[in-house]
Amino acid sequence: MGLIHETDYGTKPSASAKTVTLAIDGTKIEVAEGTSIMRAAMEAGIQVPKLCATDTLDAFGSCRLCLVEIQGRNGTPASCTTPVAEGLVVSTQTPRLKQLRRGVMELYISDHPLDCLTCAANGDCELQDMAGAVGLREVRYGYEGENHLGLAKDESNPYFTFDSSKCIACSRCVRACEETQGTFALTIEGRGFGSRVSAGAGETFLESDCVSCGACVQACPTATLTEKSVIEIGQPEHSVVTTCAYCGVGCSFKAEMRGEEVVRMVPYKDGKANRGHSCVKGRFAWGYATHKDRILNPMIRAKITDPWREVSWDEALAYAASEFKRIQAKYGRNAVGGITSSRCTNEETYLVQKLVRAGFGNNNVDTCARVCHSPTGYGLSTTYGTSAGTQDFDSVEHADVVVVIGANPTDGHPVFASRLKKRLREGAKLIVIDPRRIDLVRTPHVEAAHHLPLRPGTNVAILTALAHVIVTEGLVDEAFVRANCDLAEFNRWAAFVAEERNSPEEVAKFAGVAAETIREAARLYATGGNAAIYYGLGVTEHSQGSTSVMAIANLAMATGNIGRPGVGVNPLRGQNNVQGACDMGSFPHELSGYRHVSDNGARAMFESLWGVTLDKEPGLRIPNMLDAAVDGAFKGLYIQGEDILQSDPDTHHVAAGLAAMECVIVQDLFLNETANYAHIFLPGSTFLEKDGTFTNAERRIQRVRKVMAPRNGLGDWEVTLAFAKALGFTMDYAHPGEIMDEIAAVTPTFKGMSYAKLDELGSVQWPCNDKAPEGTPVMHIGGFVRGKGRFMITEYVATDERVGPRFPLLLTTGRILSQYNVGAQTRRTANVVWHEEDRLEINPHDAEERGIRDGDWVAVRSRAGETALRALITDRVAAGVVYTTFHHPDTQANVVTTDYSDWATNCPEYKVTAVQCMPSNGPSDWQTRYREHADQSRRIAKPAEVAE
Ligand code: SF4
Ligand code: SF4
Ligand code: SF4
Ligand code: FES
């Protein structure tokens, strides 16, 4: 069990390699040049009283509590703002200092409610600690004079309170919001005695620009900003370090507990992905784990129109196994398959693909990464030789130019966005390529140098036009290309991109971006210093998703922006373990570590370890499974932690495929939308209830640690083991750590991986092997993994999904900060206050043309189907483009998305759907029918019903 309080050194460490020697309270100390006297003292175990200083923020020097005396210098400088110097002799405890500190504390306390015994922060209050540390024994001033004690509390934020009467105006919250989060929501209003913290002009926290990241709450040394969970439950008593289960940033947290109850989640300072920061989801949105909707007992039913019947684990698994055996006996070995989840751990995912390959005896295993980042795997392995991003997040601190394309980091990857914004505030330049004017285009103290608001579906054309400028204007890093890339391929590519049809002037005619803007962006990327590209699903979820990834890889190679910090090609992974799900062999054609199933050597290794013969033909991808089900050839599916009905495109087709199957097994936390078509429901466990690892967007493998026993009785990995056993295939592990040992034994890039190493180092980025025993933060240093970097021709082929008179608008989709994917978790938390429903963003021009007013219901119709949602009129989207999120099942956004997909990987083309939008009276007929069906399908039989 871990500690609650980590050491706070007061100021940040110095990066200097040079050291200086000084004496503090008679102790000789050697520290890095640039270190503050406060930190130097703390590192030597000498506590200097402090209130406004904390080691996550820049020193501020306002509270005057940390005063010291320095021999030969006048006055009493603040130790937090005074750097060490060679030969200093410092005293931290003298009669004069003690008296000064008591005086300062006396003033604070005289304007502070003395309700310590009933205060939520009792025992975790720096003001209280400092009163003790400075030996304050009496307060000479009463409460009679002017004070702040009567100020009202702001309870508007669902997760924390703001009790202004307890504020000491230390400004830590304001600085945390600026420096760490980059939102600038808080100010210190007024002056002198009247100064107080304010979240906007006369606004509550909820009404203000605050994004509820909680950095201010964490920074506050008093009970002014306090988590409501602490007020409700009390102070935590132990902590466990674990990893966020939401997005691919992979923030590390201390789960602070009382017994088995989570009191709060505190971002872990030593977490290498987040460096002590978090967003609203990871820090606050964990209440779904104990939500009343959790299903905790296995359930079965013969038909999907029957109510569910609760059964024991043994009965459910025996039924599941007998159904799968029956189906295989009747329809053949290939009539069943499995889907792994990017929400589950590496170990769980590895087990599901093993179950399918060895237990089912086929390769019909696929993953939700199919529908998001499969083009990343294809594109980057083709060009560079590795299916993963090239950098760590720290790399952004060395970038001079950052291109963000098809990603919206402030909503989708908020903690990375905060680090990026910090770098941009320091002077790095930003190029945004996105149909929407995402927040990064202009946000406090950040403004993009160029925004290229391209027409959805024209990524390849724009990226190739950027390459055109680089090649034709002589901006290629020839030395890099000659040393690291296949020259023949480069020459072929250079001739192709130089063709006039790929020029900005030609591309501007259809891509919606002015030629000069494309030219300027290309010049900046090629000549602005270290240039890094970050991209998201706006790149991959297209019919040319893989081509776009290769076009990005080409740009980085051509300009030599690969193989060192500050540059690279960085896919921002959507879900927490998308990278891991791919690494673990979840695709039908690949074993773990991206070895093709036709690779005899790789197969032989698994065969001898698992004691089975493996199929050398690739199995079915998710869309192929659904097609085969509709055709009557595919009958049984085991889905762990996925809601394909809501998340996959063309809902009607998914529903038809599921309805055609004879046994659908859903393993999840809640009765999700897919479970409406299931025959067996196996309750899943949350990340708080499991041991394992997640791999984030940086290839960083981090431990997930159990903080409470699985509420459903079994961990997800144990369920898969039990299902395999019921099928007659035994997998024998006593702990997920043993599964990782097997992964390391069979996967070259994981060769040096173990839980012991993760516990020792905190986290490790693969490849981790003999050559890199502590992992690889930056890849392709000194050469590409595949040998020579490979330039690929990126011919732009317009999607078949075209606008026309019937469907004149282009619909594109994305996420919002407070919600996560299909919303199963976040909709069951107070995060709904920020996003109760999905809305359709529509440009004022398009809205007016159709008579649509803000808030009106709008029918959205495509070739695939029709849905309805309410309008949000905004010029954030260009005329001709509409946009929505897809977090709420009632919206059924995927009813309208089509089954067009990436040519190489089948990743669906979510980002481009031609639609028509018209005013409507409310939800569509399909939505209403669907809701009725869902309500009917979710019935759980009461005991009497079962008896009958
Ligand atoms: S919660 Fe985050 S965004 Fe909101 S005021 Fe605090 S630091 Fe700023
Ligand atoms: S709210 Fe807390 S952190 Fe902010 S100024 Fe007041 S005491 Fe300091
Ligand atoms: S959702 Fe992403 S950014 Fe937010 S805390 Fe979790 S991992 Fe970090
Ligand atoms: S801690 Fe140094 S002035 Fe406040």
Tell me the per-residue pLDDT of 670-717, one tens digit each, with 9 for 90 and over: 999 999 999 999 999 999 999 999 999 999 999 999 999 999 999 999
Is residue 883 within 8 A of residue 840, CB to CB? The reply is yes
Q: Which ligand is nearest to the CA of 10?
A: 4
Cβ neighbourhood burial of 32 (10 Å; 0-12, 13-18, 19+): middle
Q: Which ligand is nearest to the CA of 60?
A: 4
Residue 946 has pLDDT above 60, yes or no: no
Q: Which ligand is nearest to the CA of 216?
A: 1
Alpha-carbon separation of residue 599 from 60, 337, 375, 589, 734 (angstroms): 60, 21, 21, 10, 30
Mean pLDDT of 329-336: 98
Alpha-carbon separation of residue 66 from 54, 80, 81, 85 (angstroms): 12, 7, 9, 18
| pLDDT greater at residue 613 or residue 148 | 613
- Find tokens 């760590």 and name the residue: 392
Q: Name the nearest CA neighbour of 731 among 606, 901, 825.
A: 606
Q: Is residue 430 left, alpha or beta, with left meaning phi > 0 and alpha meaning psi from -120 to 50? A: beta
Q: How many CB atoms lie within 10 A of CB 932?
A: 10
Is residue 672 within 8 A of residue 691, CB to CB? The reply is no
**Residue 246: CB within 6 Å of ligand 3?**
yes
**Residue 226: CB within 6 Å of ligand 2?**
no
What's the first-to-final CA gap in the chain, in angstroms? 50
Is residue 879 within 8 A of residue 512, CB to CB? The reply is no
Please report the sign of the dihedral spanned by the C-alpha atoms of residue 614, residue 624, residue 595, residue 395. Answer: negative
Q: Which atom of ligand 1 is nearest to the CA of 199?
A: 5
Residue having the nearest C-alpha atom to atom 6 of ligand 1 = 216
pLDDT band, residue 320 (cuts 50/70/90): very high
3-state DSSP assignment of residue 43: helix
Q: Extract the tokens encoding 15.
A: 């990066």
pTM of the model as a whole: 0.94
Residue 755 has pLDDT above 50, yes or no: yes
Residue 136 has pLDDT above 80, yes or no: no
Residue having the nearest C-alpha atom to atom 8 of ligand 3 = 251
* pLDDT score, position 906: 81
Q: Which atom of ligand 2 is nearest to the CA of 176?
A: 3
> Residue 51 Cα, ligand 2 centroid: separation in angstroms?
10
> Residue 149 Cα, ligand 4 centroid: separation in angstroms?
24
Query: Measured between alpha carbons, how far is 32 from 15 in angstroms, rounded to an integer?
Result: 7
* pLDDT score, position 948: 43
3-state DSSP assignment of residue 711: coil
Give 443's DSSP letter. E
Q: Which atom of ligand 4 is nearest to the CA of 64?
A: 3
* Residues contacting ligand 1 via CB (< 6 Å): 176-177, 181, 183, 185-186, 199, 210-216
Mean pLDDT of 309-317: 97
Residue from 50, 167, 195 whose mutation best tests the ligand 2 pocket (most atoms within 8 A of CB) = 167
Query: Measured between alpha carbons, how far is 725 from 810 in angstroms, rounded to an integer?
Result: 49
Residue from 148, 171, 173 whose mutation best tests the ligand 2 pocket (most atoms within 8 A of CB) = 173
> Residue 248 Cα, ligand 3 centroid: separation in angstroms?
7
Q: Name the nearest CA neighbour of 248 among 680, 602, 577.
A: 577
Residue 4 has pLDDT above 80, yes or no: no
Q: Extract the tokens encoding 395.
A: 């790399």
3-state DSSP assignment of residue 766: coil
Residue having the nearest C-alpha atom to atom 1 of ligand 4 = 50
Q: Which ligand is nearest to the CA of 576?
A: 3
pLDDT band, residue 768 (cuts 50/70/90): very high
**Per-residue pLDDT tens digits for 614-670:** 999 999 999 999 999 999 999 999 999 999 998 887 888 999 999 999 999 999 999
* pLDDT score, position 140: 64
Q: Identity (one letter) of the amino acid at 321?
A: A
Non-local (6+) Cβ contacts of 427 within 8 A are none
